[in-house]
Structure 1
Amino acid sequence: MIHIYTDQNLLTAANRPHVFPLLFDLWYNKAPDPKISKHYQLTTPIEEADILIYPIAINRAITQFGVTTLKRQLQQWKTHQKPIWTYTEGDYGISLNDEQIWQFRFGGFDSLLTANTQIMPAFIPDPCSIQKTRFFELEKAKMPQIGFVGFSSTKLNVWSKALAATYYGNLKRLLGKDPTDFQGFYPAAYKRKQVLTTLEQSPLIETSFIHRDQYRAGAIAPAQRQKTTAQFFENIFQNPYTLCMRGAGNFSVRFYEVLAAGRIPVLIKTDVRLPLPEQINWDAHCVMIDTPATTARELYQFHQAISDTDFRAIQTRNRQLWQTHLTRESYFCTLHNALKSSL
């Protein structure tokens, strides 16, 4: 059992969307997952706690209270000589170079992240529930079949908007109006389109791509969003492989959706850090691509080398991995088991 202290005054209804994810079960959820209750417990005396958790996303806290107030509270907590867990919501993280502070975020560049930065998976709904289907395995075909549905475009205005957004975001950071890390220019939709086009031209693989000119095809109305969501997951379930490339924050929500569906992500590596690297052998669950230009050849080689039995087995393992390590509850339970001995 890990005992946790947090500032309960900030655990309000208004702050619920911005709360440290573990606190959903420990505070807001009236029927918390029994596994969470078995591994974690809130405590009021700070002296009895093993870990101190700042209750809401620190980028939210800076917006609400200012950076000075946040730093003052963290400095006060540090006097107790206990690990402090913080969380950054959204695409971009905030780097705090302090060995006592553990930073939880969804993405970032591995070479720039501190050793005590913990990458969380995107906590997503179960694709099987969304599609009202049970998990099923696909049989191995002669050629690898790879799918993708999403925003991908080499139009100049898409590239220009990405550039303008990057400059504007970094200007806000420079002026102290945005506390998140500075970002390099990466036109995600443009890069995706380049890779997808190359794959479509390859004779080594079969592709099933739906290119969108906008995020979610610009769907706003509920019926439209439901339709585009169904197309998205149908494509994942029908293809054993799905291309996964980074978005704005150097991580891919699609990556976790593919795993949850029991399919095989083809991940273009971009100095990414994945969750729980000490507990998960990621090479056993996906096809890692170092150079985008060689994606088709590397996927073909992977597909030819894997047996029919192992091809079905990796699908089942990926579904199980999501269930046992990558849901919100299972992620924090796995983290508990890894950290308990060191606290």
Structure 2
Amino acid sequence: MTQPVRIYSDPSHATPDKRRDYLVGILKAFWGDGTNEWERYRPEHLFYLDLFELVPDIDRAEIVILPMIWNYYLRFKKMPRALHLAKQAEKAGKKICIWINGDFGARIPVSNAIVFQTSAFRSRKAFHIRIRPDNPGDLTRLYFEGSIPVRNKGPKPVVGFYGQTRSKRFWRLFLYNFWLSIAYWARLSPYEPPKPVFPHLIFREKVLNRLLASPLVEARITGLSKSTGKTMQVNPEWIHNMRDCDYVVCIRGTANYSNRFYGALSMGRIPIFVDTDCALPFHDEIDWKKYCVWVDQKDAMRIDEKVAEFHRAHSETEFVKLQRACRELWLERLSDEGFYRHFREYVLEPPASSLEDIQKEPPQP
């Protein structure tokens, strides 16, 4: 068994009234979430106690943890406290782990930071960023008693999607994104703006319309005019849509990643991953193309052909086996426990190729 990672943090940052919303998950296992309901959620955090050892002396630690997510320090004007702990870590010769919640990264003036965020452009991915899964929860356990709803292979691939495909506020979104870009580059906002400025829904709708019009696939697509946001995991229509299809379309939203990607894998569904230069977790260790119908952005208007070709290439046995492999991958690498079980290799011992810092312009959808 691997030795727990020795971590150091400063509990004085974590006032009880802010812990539930802003304290990072690892430290909730040690300090609780500051609410009377903590005992209800405590069992979900117990695995952290096997994986991490919280030490009282920074010199004994392997790495320092910023206790609250970065959004907290920005929102409540606590940045000096965050920077002070980062300086302590630097003085002790340690890296400091920082988590950002939400769709976008942020400007972080910390030279010794390792930043956990949900999205990035792969071609621009800096060595200090670690992509973390944006999990909607263990959908198989929540809805199917822990056993994936296996589908047999039919003659035609059944493709599903449930979510926003259009917006009545297109020009408002465009102007808002344009303003966010100006604010970021003028240093009026610390958060990175959406890229591209044109709303992503144009690209998403074109791709989904291609599937709807194609005789090569059976498309079960439910398009909404509003974002489902973080409510998808409690939406039975989304769950039923995935249950009743072979493949799930996973295409970027406002940020350059897909929450559906993790939901599909957790339910043993094969993602159709439309790659818009997305950075994925463990990109050096996992051959992602083994688990997905991988569609490069330049081939997006041939998505139906790609899916049909993939479906034909797999036998009934291989098709069922791949569904189970998707579920296993989620459990072993992308669930909260699976992800943090690999913390040491992902953060403290990253492969050499993850230390590249390429600065190309990302392709524009």
TM (norm. structure 2) is 0.84
User: Whole-Å Cα distance in 2 between the matches of residues 310 and 186 of structure 1?
Assistant: 40
Tell me the amino acid that sits aligned with residue 291 of structure 2.
H
Query: What does the per-residue CA deviation read over 1:253-286, in whole Å, with 9 as the maximum and x for residues that have no partner?
Result: 1110000010011011111010112332211111
Tell me the amino acid that sits aligned with residue 269 of structure 2.
R
User: Contact 1:21–1:328 (CA<8 Å) still a contact in 2?
Assistant: no
Distance 1:114 1:95, change over 3 A: farther
Q: Which residue of 2 aligns with 1:62?
A: 74
Q: How does 1:4-83 map to 2 (within 5 A)?
A: 4-13=7-16, 14-28=18-32, 30-31=42-43, 33=45, 35-65=47-77, 67=79, 69-83=81-95
- Structure 1's unaligned 5+ residue stretches are 220-224
Tell me the amino acid that sits aligned with residue 280 of structure 1.
I
Q: Does 1:135 align with 2:148?
A: yes
Q: Does 1:240 align with 2:252?
A: no
What's the offset of the Cα at 1:251? 1.0
Query: What does the per-residue CA deviation read over 1:84-107, in whole Å, with 9 as the maximum and x for residues that have no partner?
Result: 111111110125476632111010
Between 1:307-316 and 1:327-336, the stretch displaced more is 327-336
Q: Does 1:314 align with 2:317?
A: no
Q: Among 250, 254, 268, which residue is 1:262 paired with?
A: 268
Matched residue of 2:155: which SS?
A: coil
Between 1:73-82 and 1:230-239, the stretch displaced more is 73-82
Divergent runs of 4+, >6 A: 225-228
Q: Does 1:162 align with 2:173?
A: yes
What's the offset of the Cα at 1:61? 0.7
Query: What does the per-residue CA deviation read over 1:46-72, in whole Å, with 9 as the maximum and x for residues that have no partner?
Result: 111110011112232122225455334
Tell me the amino acid that sits aligned with residue 247 of structure 1.
G
User: Contact 1:95–1:103 (CA<8 Å) still a contact in 2?
Assistant: no
Matched residue of 1:215: which SS?
A: coil
Query: What does the per-residue CA deviation read over 1:263-317, in whole Å, with 9 as the maximum and x for residues that have no partner?
Result: 0110111110101123322111111111211111111111111111110011001
What's the offset of the Cα at 1:5? 0.5
User: Contact 1:59–1:94 (CA<8 Å) still a contact in 2?
Assistant: no
What's the offset of the Cα at 1:226? 9.0
Q: Does 1:123 align with 2:135?
A: yes
- The root-mean-square deviation of aligned C-alpha atoms, in Å, is 2.5
What's the offset of the Cα at 1:128? 2.6
Distance 1:194 1:339, change over 3 A: closer
- Structure 2's unaligned 5+ residue stretches are 33-40, 351-365
User: Contact 1:149–1:211 (CA<8 Å) still a contact in 2?
Assistant: yes
Matched residue of 2:190: which SS?
A: coil
Distance 1:214 1:228, change over 3 A: farther
Q: Among 287, 306, 313, which residue is 1:281 paired with?
A: 287
Between 1:274-283 and 1:129-138, the stretch displaced more is 129-138
Tell me the amino acid that sits aligned with residue 317 of structure 1.
A
Q: Which residue of 2 aligns with 1:198?
A: 210
What's the offset of the Cα at 1:235? 0.5
Between 1:42-51 and 1:168-177, the stretch displaced more is 168-177
What's the offset of the Cα at 1:10? 1.7
What's the offset of the Cα at 1:137? 1.1
What's the offset of the Cα at 1:336? 2.7
Q: Among 3, 7, 10, which residue is 2:6 paired with?
A: 3
Q: Among 103, 107, 114, which residue is 2:119 paired with?
A: 107
Between 1:304-313 and 1:174-183, the stretch displaced more is 174-183
What's the offset of the Cα at 1:23? 2.2
User: Whole-Å Cα distance in 2 between the matches of residues 21 and 171 of structure 1?
Assistant: 33
Q: Which residue of 2 aligns with 1:222?
A: none
User: Contact 1:20–1:86 (CA<8 Å) still a contact in 2?
Assistant: no
Matched residue of 2:301: which SS?
A: helix
Query: What does the per-residue CA deviation read over 1:185-204, in whole Å, with 9 as the maximum and x for residues that have no partner?
Result: 14122322111111111111
Matched residue of 1:9: which SS?
A: helix
What's the offset of the Cα at 1:166? 0.5
What's the offset of the Cα at 1:30? 4.1
Matched residue of 1:231: which SS?
A: helix
Matched residue of 1:136: which SS?
A: coil
Tell me the amino acid that sits aligned with residue 302 of structure 2.
T
TM (norm. structure 1) is 0.89
Matched residue of 1:131: which SS?
A: helix
Tell me the amino acid that sits aligned with residue 27 of structure 1.
W
User: Whole-Å Cα distance in 2 between the matches of residues 330 and 97 of structure 1?
Assistant: 30
User: Contact 2:66–2:85 (CA<8 Å) still a contact in 1?
Assistant: no
Matched residue of 1:267: which SS?
A: strand
User: Whole-Å Cα distance in 2 between the matches of residues 69 and 24 of structure 1?
Assistant: 19
What's the offset of the Cα at 1:338? 4.8
Q: How does 1:179-194 map to 2 (within 5 A)?
A: 179-184=190-195, 185-194=197-206
What's the offset of the Cα at 1:32? 6.1
Matched residue of 1:52: which SS?
A: strand
Q: Does 1:333 align with 2:333?
A: no
